[in-house]
Amino acid sequence: DGGITQSPKYLFRKEGQNVTLSCEQNLNHDAMYWYRQDPGQGLRLIYYSQIVNDFQKGDIAEGYSVSREKKESFPLTVTSAQKNPTAFYLCATADRRRFGNTIYFGEGSWLTVV
Amino acid sequence: DQQVKQNSPSLSVQEGRISILNCDYTNSMFDYFLWYKKYPAEGPTFLISISSIKDKNEDGRFTVFLNKSAKHLSLHIVPSQPGDSAVYFCAASVNSGGSNYKLTFGKGTLLTVNP
């Protein structure tokens, strides 16, 4: 089954804890992204990676960290430094060999701080 | 500074009529534009895109129009169906010169198609 797999779908975190959201893809896409959606808001870019072992901060990277050790995987860690972590998190990928910036999203992960 | 703006948070239309969703942008470097559809608690799905060298792109019931001089694009859905009810996001990117492949999204428009 091809595509982008995010896990877990729902995650609860206590204040002060770090949590890691998983994103795996078997589309052989070079580029991977993490976006965040808050109610009534658009999608805001947290981090992105265009190639293995390289990643860049997006617009709202504070309080987050990522790694890109494998082409297929781009995990996102929400640290205790993130003040408002409750949100819907979306992982996405893109094929850099194709013209244009069509990116494809996973199903998303809900993170709730309790 | 919001570079991609969807000024209508919501839109309601009757089944069978045309839905027109609008999007404005401020960054003149944007040269590729996309529309995504999103249901609650799901990831957005790609609908249609347009390059800045074109002014229209059509795919079935969906047509995207681009007016570069006005920095405006619109998505037309004809005829609208109840299953089209979702949030629609406009997105834009810079593709020339080895871009960083970032997409900038608008805040979305909730479309409701009434039977």
A40 touches chain B (CB under 8 A): yes
Q: Which two tokens stand for residue A12?
A: 């609860």
Q: What is the distance between the alpha carbons of residues A45 and A76, in angstroms, rounded to a whole number?
A: 12
Question: Residues B9-13: what's their mean pLDDT?
Answer: 96
Q: Which amino acid is at A86?
A: T
CA–CA distance, B65 with B48 (Å, rounded to integer) = 11
Interface test with B, best of A27, A43, A96, A110 (most B CBs within 10 A): A43
3-class secondary-structure state, position B98:
coil
Nearest to A53 by CA among A64, A67, A34, A65: A67
Q: pLDDT tens-digit profile of A42-64?
A: 899 999 998 899 999 999 999 99
Tally of CB atoms within 10 A around A6: 22
B75 to chain A nearest CA, in Å? 16
A63 Cβ partners below 8 Å, 6+ apart? A78, A79, A81, A82, A83, A85
B101 contacts in chain A (CB < 8 Å): 31, 48, 50, 94, 96, 101, 103
| Interface size, chain A vs chain B, as Cβ–Cβ contacts under 8 Å | 70
Concatenated DSSP letters of A50-61: EETTEEEE-TT-
Comparing C-alpha atoms, which of B88, B89, B97 is closest to residue B30? B97
List the single residue in B with minimal CA-CA distance to A94. Answer: B101
Closest CA to B93 of B34, B7, B6, B26: B34
Q: Looking at residue B97, what is its pLDDT?
A: 56
Residue A96 forms contact with B (CB below 8 Å): yes
Chain B hits for A100, CB-CB cut-off 8 Å, are 32, 34, 49, 51, 93, 95
Nearest residue of B to residue A59, measured between CA atoms: B104
Q: How confident is the model at residue A2 (pLDDT cuts 50, 70, 90)?
A: low
* A17-21, A65-69, B91-95: segment of lowest average pLDDT: B91-95
**Closest CA of chain B from A79, distance in Å:** 23
Dump pLDDT digits (tens) for B60-88: 999 999 999 999 999 999 999 999 999 99
pLDDT at B112 over 60: yes
pLDDT number for residue A83: 86
Using a 10 angstrom Cβ sphere, with 0-12 exposed, 13-18 middle and 19 or more buried, the burial of residue B23 is: buried
Q: pLDDT exceeding 90 applies to what percent of chain A?
A: 68
